[in-house]
Amino acid sequence: MLLTKDAFWLKLLACGLLIFGTKLWLIQQFGSSVPYWDQWDSLAADLFLKWSENHFSVGQLFSPHNEHRIVFSRLLALSLFAFNQGQWQPLLEAIASAGLATLVAIIAGLLLRRVVKNQDGLLLLWITVLWILPFGWENTLAGFQSAFYFMLLFSFIALWGLILHPAYQWQWWTGALLGFFAFFNVASGLLIFVAILGVKGYLFWTDKTQRLQHFPTIMLCLIILCLEFALLVPVAHHAVLKAQDISQFLLTFGKSLAFPAITHPFFSFFAFFPFTFLVLRLLWLRRPLTMNTLLVITLGIWVILQAAGISYARGAGGALPASRYMDILAIGILVNLLAFYLLHPAKESKKLSIYFYSFFSLWLLATVFNMSGLIQQNSIPALIHKRDNSLLQIQNVRAFLQTNNINTLIGKEIPYPSAERLATLLSNPTIRQFLPPSLQGFQLLTSSQTNNNPFVINGFYPTAGQYQAENVLGSYNQTGNVAQGTFISESLTLQQNVIEIAVTGYLGETGLRLGLWGEGDSEPQWITPQQLARETWVTYQLPNPKKPFKIIAVDENPNYWFAFAMPRGLGIGSLWAAWLLTHAYLIIALGLSLLLIPFALNNLKKSTDFPLTEPT
């Protein structure tokens, strides 16, 4: 009975797991460990480099990034960088952003549950669908886009605190503070206060008996908006991206509100008809507004304001809204579904109910159809294109790191708009030290001996092939397997807890050994292969001795050979990221399993619901 009563919490947890697991799967399939575009300047040059060289100041967190002050995205990135032991891992950032998106979905479910009462299952279904479908794939694949999820999170909490609670209660102060924080992610975060100000202003004007209750929130919104408008950053070179006239603005505005039918701006009238009708009906009737109605109206106004902000700042030529804005625009679907719920006619109005359900069915069918079209025609092709480009980008960046030849970047597919600037960043020795593991391992180890070293550059049997296009050391040469001897490297140190070495060949056969020899240790820490790699590459992970160490490779068998790639450190965050991405299916399966429990309990309750009477 208790589980049946609390089925909502099980469904909420299940939906959270499904959203998180699906986003992990998307990152695993289409994500890249190579930093992309703005990450090189805003994170590598402005944050991690200065942090690593002890030149970091708190003021850098608040410095403008284009039109925005991405304080919380920088804090998240810096926290992950420190947690990952000074190693940059964009995939870890993307996973953290996926967790943040999941938290936003959970908060949305908790916030809007009060509106739908006994229909919370349908609410969670729509939230799950809107968060799972990859409309906003840019925000999922690029951890740097966490600013959008922070803004959504803080805006929802502001709604909860300032709309649903009286002034000066702790919930009100919490909403005010976190609403203020929304601006320090995406500049349009300030629009939550514009929406709340509009609604509270209307109540102040119409509800004369309760004006004193609304006045503190109105003043709070005005003060915060004045502060945030003063902090806005004009970006001169982005003027070309703005709508150049009213027609361009209206075209992008229509496309944004038409979501998911973003290529048909006039569909916006149909898409937002339920919300528009709700607002006009309330204005006409002039009835006191319930908290639930206030919540839906404020949320709807906020979505419209966000669409207007997108259209003004990025509406040049009447452009389509970019993928990164679609996580915001998708909330418009929720708003209009909730408007339908609030407009639901009384049961006795049979004729009105027929009209209502007919229009609702048409609206729902059109919305689902256009959602499907957007995924098939926009999201999936864009994801495939992104994945293909990422493969070329990692190949070209690795080629530069190996050769230091800028021609490997010029005119090629690279993760930055300028080959010269990217080459400068990649040439910085400090940046090279904290690059992701996939961009490490290009500096060949040097031997501490002058003789008896059989390990030569790319000494492997030809069918094995290079490891990730890197130069490696191996004991196979022109004479075949017969070379014997020992390689002992110069001392090196790595920060991370785990050291990974890729191996090919016959390590594990008698006389073939590879290991780490920590300074002062009596014996090396040998790799123990579970099976022979043969002509494939297998990676092994060893604990870092946390002191200077040498790589020792021994070949005392004339019948076999082996080769190894250069060691690279793996931070604890990189290890977690790899595990989570390869086990995304388990999280999805757990979510589906939990989702079945409430239905099973409900059926069990029905099957055991019979009258207990004495036989006559």
Q: What is the pLDDT of residue 616?
A: 43
Contact 328, 303 (CB under 8 A): yes
Q: List helix spans (H) across 117-210.
A: 120-132, 137-141, 146-163, 170-182, 191-206
Determine the 3-state secondary structure of 518 from DSSP: strand
Question: Is pLDDT above 70 for 606?
Answer: no
Q: What is the pLDDT of residue 613?
A: 46
Contact 600, 110 (CB under 8 A): no
**SS3 of 584-600:** HHHHHHHHHHHHHHHHH
Q: If pLDDT is split at 50, 70 and 90, which confidence band does 348 have?
A: low
Contact 579, 502 (CB under 8 A): no
What CA–CA distance (Å, rounded) separates 48 from 57?
A: 12
Average pLDDT, stretch 192-208?
A: 94
Concatenated DSSP letters of 558-581: TT--EEEPPPEEE-HHHHHHHHHH
Q: What is the pLDDT of residue 4?
A: 47
For the record, the structure tokens of 108 come out as 């949305």
Q: What is the pLDDT of residue 11?
A: 93
Closest of 343, 405, 326, 433 to residue 86, by C-alpha? 433
Average per-residue pLDDT in the chain? 93
Q: If pLDDT is split at 50, 70 and 90, which confidence band does 143 have?
A: confident
Question: Is pLDDT above 70 for 609?
Answer: no
Which range is least confidently modeled, 273-277, 462-466, 611-615?
611-615
Average pLDDT, stretch 264-289?
A: 94
How far is the CA of 35 from the CAs of 71, 144, 291, 592, in angstroms? 19, 9, 44, 33
What CA–CA distance (Å, rounded) separates 481 from 292?
A: 77
Which residues 6+ apart lie within 8 Å of 504 measured at CB?
A: 460, 464, 467, 474, 533, 534, 535, 536, 537, 538, 562, 563, 564
Q: List helix spans (H) across 378-510.
A: 380-403, 419-427, 429-434
Q: What is the pLDDT of residue 448?
A: 87
Contact 491, 549 (CB under 8 A): yes
Span 279-293, pLDDT tens digits: 999 999 888 889 999
Q: How many CB atoms lie within 10 A of CB 212?
A: 9
Q: If pLDDT is split at 50, 70 and 90, which confidence band does 612 have?
A: very low
Determine the 3-state secondary structure of 130 from DSSP: helix
Average pLDDT, stretch 143-170?
A: 96
Q: If pLDDT is split at 50, 70 and 90, which confidence band does 369 have?
A: very high
Q: If pLDDT is split at 50, 70 and 90, which confidence band does 598 have?
A: confident
Q: What is the pLDDT of residue 5?
A: 55
For the record, the structure tokens of 290 come out as 């319930």
Average pLDDT, stretch 11-37?
A: 96
Q: If pLDDT is split at 50, 70 and 90, which confidence band does 455 have?
A: very high
For the record, the structure tokens of 521 come out as 């240790």
Provide, rounded to the nearest whole percent, the portion of the chain with pLDDT above 90.
85
Question: Is pLDDT above 60 for 607?
Answer: yes
Span 296-339, pLDDT tens digits: 999 999 999 999 999 999 999 999 999 999 999 999 999 999 99
What CA–CA distance (Å, rounded) separates 120 from 122?
A: 5
Which range is least confidently modeled, 96-110, 156-170, 196-210?
196-210
Determine if the pTM surpasses 0.85.
yes
Span 549-574, pLDDT tens digits: 999 999 999 999 999 999 999 999 99
Span 507-516, pLDDT tens digits: 999 999 999 9
